[in-house]
């Protein structure tokens, strides 16, 4: 039963203005997560208004009321957009909506303007951490900006009462860089009915020309370099010498697709998949491979685990909070193609190990049911509306192997 059915009075006064750089113009993890959040909040009696950039004919049929803000395509990556600050029209919309909470999901110009508006009007300002921006810089030869970026983020989040982080390891990174106040745990969720082993399909596999006894090594992601594509390519080359039957299936699209198709011609590229098609692709695979070291959480890893796949991932933020090394899959040092190759071969060659890890991965994923995850966020909003306005620190009831502890002093960069 929805919370709103049992306690609508409790949430009726909560009005959330959500500011984000991605909501309907790109079908990535941030957009999909925020659409789920808005759907849950509205279902439970919370008024929501979303302020975000958009495009003509966006790929997502978005949830809720969207106030479109001006933006420009990012140079060299036109699938991403840079939103400007609050225009007069957007400000009038915000005034009329009269939010009690301003939630910023992207620390951009729009987000900065939203936080300033909140301070000026005495409104609670909170933020959620979705993108590990500093880890992207090396892929664009911009490492020299790392220190400046962290200084900006420290200043930005200092003006927010809460910062919702998706994993304990990401919280550790933020703390190391001097972002310590108001950190609260908000993991991402998974639809364990949609992503389920029962969707495995021999017909789907055969349609791609894959033998029934071939082991599918699946990779699901936007095809951009920061998702570990260099490691993916090197591992694929190493596995060519493997005498055991396996096939690489790459699900997703993006600016690096043509280059990747040239580098791994033996792989099967499905393009972008969603809904039931994506669920079938996961469940019809046998091993999930995800070498990205830029994740804050790892939505695709959780979807793969819910589908019953052992996951071989980078031992980095996000992934290492989901994968229990040696139990639900394996972790390997980021960029270590030799270790990734070894671990994937272990799973290709040992069907018993695959079955054991498949069951464990599925069981682990069940702890991340969406409604429980989204209720946590609603409770944080309600805490802001309470007389104390306080919430528990990051680490409370973490569904992971990592120790739960309050955040302490920082080592600033």
**39 and 176 together in one domain:** yes
H/E element, 405: none
Assess whether 346 and 381 both reside in one domain: no
Boundaries of domain holding 162: 3-189+369-385
What's the mean pLDDT in 162-175? 90
Judge if 57 and 108 occupy the same domain. yes
pTM of the full structure = 0.75
pLDDT at res. 146: 74
One domain for residues 7 and 52: yes
| 362 and 378 together in one domain | no
Q: Domain containing 364 — which CATH number?
A: 3.40.50.2000
Average pLDDT over residues 79-106: 91
User: Could you tell me the two tokens for 107?
Assistant: 């620390």
94 close to 113: Cβ distance less than 8 angstroms: no
Task: Count CB neighbours of 271 within 10 A.
Answer: 11
Phi then psi for residue 62, to 5 deg, are -70, 160
67 vs 1: which has the higher pLDDT = 67
Q: Looking at residue 140, what is its pLDDT?
A: 59
Count how many domains the chain has.
Answer: 2
Copy the structure tokens of residue 47: 């008024």
91 SS3 class: helix
Kindly state whether residue 114 falls inside one of the protein's structural domains: yes
Asked if residue 62 and residue 205 are part of one domain, the reply reads no
* Residue 323 and residue 256 in one domain: yes
Cα 188 to the center of its chain, rounded Å: 7
Count helices and strands in the chain by DSSP H and E runs: 16, 15
Give how far Cα 170 sits from Cα of 90, 319, 320, Å: 32, 10, 10
User: Same structural domain for residues 270 and 130?
Assistant: no
In the predicted structure, residue 187 carries a pLDDT above the cut 80: yes
* Residue 90 covered by a domain: yes
- Is 284 found in the same domain as 148? no
CB atoms within 10 A of CB 86: 22
* Domain assignment present for 391: no
Q: Which residues pair with 124 in a beta bridge?
A: 101
pLDDT band at 280 (very low <50, low <70, confident <90, very high): very high
User: Residue 8 pLDDT more than 50?
Assistant: no
| pLDDT for the residue 391 | 52
Asked whether residue 293 is assigned to any structural domain, the reply reads yes
Given a cut of 80, whether residue 413 has pLDDT beyond it is no
Same domain as 69, residue 176: yes
Is residue 213 included in any domain, yes or no? yes
pLDDT band at 65 (very low <50, low <70, confident <90, very high): very high
The whole-chain average pLDDT of the chain stands at: 87
Convert the pLDDT of each residue in 248-265 to its tens digit. 999 999 999 999 999 999
pLDDT surpasses 70 at 404: no
Q: Is residue 322 a part of any domain in this protein?
A: yes
pLDDT tens track for 289-334: 999 988 878 889 999 999 999 999 999 887 888 999 999 999 999 9
- Cβ–Cβ < 8 Å for 105, 127: yes
Quote the CA–CA distance of 405 and 402 in Å, as a whole number. Answer: 9
- Domain annotation covers residue 346: yes
**Angle, CA 187 vertex, CA 157 and CA 158 arms, to 5°:** 10
The pLDDT-based confidence of 156 (bands split at 50, 70, 90) is very high
The answer to whether residue 399 scores a pLDDT higher than 50 is no
- Considering the domain architecture, whether residues 212 and 132 belong to the same structural domain is answered as no
* 131 within domain boundaries: yes
DSSP character string of 314-359: ESSTTHHHH--BTTTEEEE-TT-HHHHHHHHHHHHH-HHHHHHHHH
Note whether 307 and 180 are same-domain residues: no
Position 4 confidence tier, pLDDT thresholds 50, 70, 90: very low
């Amino acid at each position: 039963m929805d919370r709103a059915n049992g306690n609508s009075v409790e949430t009726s006064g909560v009005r959330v203005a959500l500011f984000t750089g991605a909501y309907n113009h790109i079908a990535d993890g941030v957009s999909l997560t925020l659409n789920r959040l808005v759907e849950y909040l509205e279902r439970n009696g919370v008024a929501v208004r979303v302020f975000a950039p958009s495009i003509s004919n966006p790929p997502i049929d978005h949830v809720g009321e969207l106030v479109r803000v001006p933006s420009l395509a990012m140079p060299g990556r036109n699938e991403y957009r840079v939103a400007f600050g609050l225009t007069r029209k957007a400000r009038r919309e915000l005034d009329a909506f009269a939010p009690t909470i301003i939630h910023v999901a992207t620390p951009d110009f729009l987000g900065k303007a939203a936080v300033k508006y909140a301070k000026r009007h005495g409104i609670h300002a909170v933020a959620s951490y979705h993108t590990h921006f500093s880890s992207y810089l090396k892929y664009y030869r911009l490492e020299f900006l790392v220190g400046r970026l962290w200084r900006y983020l420290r200043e930005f989040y200092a003006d927010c009462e809460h910062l919702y982080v998706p994993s304990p390891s990401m919280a550790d990174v933020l703390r190391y860089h001097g972002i310590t106040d108001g950190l609260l745990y908000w993991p991402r969720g998974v639809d364990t009915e949609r992503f389920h082993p029962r969707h495995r399909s021999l017909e789907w596999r055969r349609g791609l020309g894959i033998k029934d006894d071939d082991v599918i090594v699946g990779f699901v992601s936007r095809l951009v370099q920061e998702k570990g594509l260099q490691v993916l390519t090197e591992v694929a080359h190493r596995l060519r010498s493997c005498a055991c039957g396996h096939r690489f299936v790459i699900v997703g699209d993006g600016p690096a697709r043509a280059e990747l198709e040239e580098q791994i011609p033996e792989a099967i590229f499905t393009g972008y998949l969603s809904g039931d098609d994506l669920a079938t692709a996961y469940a019809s695979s046998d091993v999930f491979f995800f070498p990205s070291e830029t994740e804050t959480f790892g939505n695709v890893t959780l979807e793969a685990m819910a589908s019953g796949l052992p996951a071989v991932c980078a031992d980095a933020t996000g992934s290492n909070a989901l994968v229990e090394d040696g139990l639900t899959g394996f972790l390997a040092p980021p960029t270590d193609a030799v270790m990734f190759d070894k671990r994937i071969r272990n799973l290709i060659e040992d069907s018993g190990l695959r079955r054991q890890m498949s069951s464990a991965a599925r069981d682990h994923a069940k702890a991340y049911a969406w409604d429980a995850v989204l209720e946590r966020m609603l409770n944080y909003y309600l805490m802001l509306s309470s007389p104390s306005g306080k919430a528990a620190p990051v680490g409370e009831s973490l569904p992971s192997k990592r120790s739960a502890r309050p955040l302490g002093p920082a080592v600033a960069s």
